[in-house]
Amino acid sequence: MDLRKMIVAAGLIGSAGLACAGVSGLIQYPSVSPDGRTIVFSADGDLWSMDAKGGAASRLTVHPGIETRSAFSRDGKKIGFESNRDGAQNLYTLSIEGSGNSVLVRSLDRVTVSDRTQTLGGFNAEGDALLFSASIYPEIYRHVSMYEAPIDGGAVTPISAAYGRMPIETADGEWTYFNR
């Protein structure tokens, strides 16, 4: 996501409380669709979508668990997100259609199964896996490491020997950026 989209998202989310009928509590973790038309954010423990130009928000998820960070796939057809709906904070995807507050959820799929908290970075460049960080190993001297989880199932694999958080790939997949 470029800086301009992030600034626009922050401004819209900051003022979204006035426009989001039915949304109470803290509005946080905005993500902007690749076409810039839709913002997804977390509020009341669920994911919501709204048109980037403003207006009412619509709830995408309804669950007693808490949904937090989200990220769009590069084609805008999937949203990856974190949720503790099945215990520990794991990763899920929504298959979607539409934009703005007219986003339709076609399916919700669990991507990871772990008893360790996982923090979403985003989709990989190909859009077929979620990048995330977690402390998977129980040893006290281990730090948060970065991993890739295929969205259609398969083994979780490390993406780097470096310790870090919230990995995200460049569009060509050549570089991975992360917080140390």
At residue 53 the predicted structure's pLDDT band, cuts being 50, 70 and 90, is very high
Instruction: Report the phi/psi class of residue 85: left, alpha or beta, with left for phi > 0 and alpha for psi in -120 to 50.
Output: alpha
Give all strands of the β-sheet with 28-32 in edge-to-edge order. Answer: 28-32, 38-43, 46-51, 58-59
CATH architecture of 3-179: 6 Propeller (2.120)
- Write down the pLDDT at residue 17: 46
What are the residue ranges spanned by the domains of the chain?
Answer: 3-179
Q: Does position 18 have pLDDT exceeding 50, yes or no?
A: no
Q: In whole angstroms, what is the distance from residue 138 CA to residue 107 CA?
A: 33
Residues in the chain: 180
Q: In whole angstroms, what is the distance from residue 78 CA to residue 172 CA?
A: 19
pTM of the model as a whole: 0.84
* Residues paired with 133 in a beta bridge: 119, 146
- Percent helix, strand, coil in the chain, to 5, is 10, 45, 45
Q: In whole angstroms, what is the distance from residue 103 CA to residue 40 CA?
A: 10
79-93 in b/e form (b: 16+ CB < 10 A) is bbbbbbbeeebbbbb
Which helix or strand (DSSP H or E) is residue 150 part of?
strand 145-150
Number of helices followed by number of strands (H, E) in the chain: 1, 14
Segment 13-32 mean pLDDT: 69
Segment 118-130 mean pLDDT: 96
pLDDT in tens, 61-114: 999 999 999 999 999 999 999 999 998 999 999 999 988 778 889 999 999 999
Q: In whole angstroms, what is the distance from residue 83 CA to residue 89 CA?
A: 5
Average pLDDT, the chain: 87
- Write down the pLDDT at residue 135: 87
